[in-house]
Amino acid sequence: MRTPSAGTGRLFFRGAGSRKRQDMLFCVCLLFPAIVLCTAFILIPIVDSVVMSFTSYKIANLTKNRPGEWNDFANYTRLWKAGKLQSAIGITSRFVFWTVSLTFVISMALALILNTEPRGARFLRSVMMIPWVIPTVITGLLWAWIYANPYGLVQYLVHLFSGGRITDFGMLNGKGTALWGVIIAGLWKQVPLMTLLLLAGMQNVPDDILEAAKIDGAGYLTRLIHILIPYMRSMIAVSVSMCIIENFKQYPLFATLTNGGPIGATTTLAVLSYDEAFVNNNYGSGAAVTTVWLLVMIVVVFLFNMIFRREKQ
């Protein structure tokens, strides 16, 4: 059965002038559906949310189909004066930094181990993907049971290793430990995917270069720093960027584990945006948080890629 080629598609554009113009029109036709979908479902909602952030738009506006009243930066200043915005930015930054950093370190270590092809490596690759394929809400419920006080696994282990001295340890109940409880759950969910991505990058490194370096007397650490990691730069950049974006928009884990508590200790920008829009019924304020959230994420990803590109040069 013959399959249509690019040349077949260009037959429709024979009257369009030069070959370059025909190719351009053909590419536009191929991209047009994707452009329409991205504009309708990504670009327009983002612009609408940004505009809404400068208005007073509440539940009455929604039910009566009435446009919001323009209030300039009132939503932003109110959130800033209340301390909600800067607190949420700080908590989100700490969560993203520690989750991404620990995910990368653990994933790199696991990828290095699997790259040596230990016994049962194929089985391990299959099994370790289970946490990643489980829906995030189910992951949150699972870890909520593990952290449960007084019958959770963590409480039992703390009681066991403390010799019975600690009998009331609530991982998600303390301001200093609640965020780390969510971070651990996030690591369990995200490490498998990054491990396989980094492992794929390692297996693309030419064996002859590694063998030549080994013959020249280069140790394992030298080969890792000067050969493996440089060859994996593109894969590292992609996987870490994905991890940054994934954790900036992380909401299900917080909703199922802490819901922003205790006393706002885990209120990230995602949680604050939901609370302002759907708990306080202030959609303009929720849109303001979402706008700040989007800008912070774009800046962080841009800076990461800029630094990574500069180091590569």
pLDDT digits (tens, 9 = 90+) for 221-241: 888 888 898 889 989 999 999
DSSP state of 55: E
Assigned domain for 3 exists: no
Asked whether the predicted pLDDT for residue 1 surpasses 50, the reply is: no
Among the residue ranges 40-49, 69-78, 227-236, 262-271, the one predicted with the least confidence is 227-236
19 in any annotated domain: no
- Buried/exposed 168-184: b ≥16 CB within 10 Å, e otherwise: ebbbbbeeeebbbbbbb
Q: Is residue 107 part of a domain?
A: yes
Is 89 among the domain residues?
Answer: yes
With respect to residue 11, please indicate whether it lies within any of the assigned structural domains: no
The boundaries of the domain holding residue 179 are 48-61+68-312
| Residue 312: predicted pLDDT | 61
Which pLDDT score is estimated for 138? Answer: 95
Give the whole-angstrom CA distance, residue 108 versus residue 102: 10
Q: Residue 22 domain-assigned?
A: no
Describe the crossing of helices 233-248 and 283-312 by its angle, rounded to 10 degrees: 170
pLDDT of residue 166: 83
Residue 4 lies in a domain: no
Q: Above 60 in pLDDT, residue 294?
A: yes
- Region 138-167 average pLDDT: 89
pLDDT in tens, 15-36: 555 778 888 888 899 999 999 9
Range with the poorest average pLDDT among 7-21, 29-43, 110-124: 7-21
The pLDDT-based confidence of 184 (bands split at 50, 70, 90) is very high
- Is the omega angle on the peptide bond into residue 118 within 30 degrees of 0, that is, cis? no
Which residues fall within 8 angstroms of residue 172, CB to CB, at 6 or more apart? 144, 147, 178, 181, 257, 258, 262
CATH number of the domain enclosing 109: 1.10.3720.10
Looking at the structure of the chain, the number of domains it has is: 1
Asked if residue 181 has pLDDT above 70, the reply is yes
Does 303 reside within a domain?
A: yes
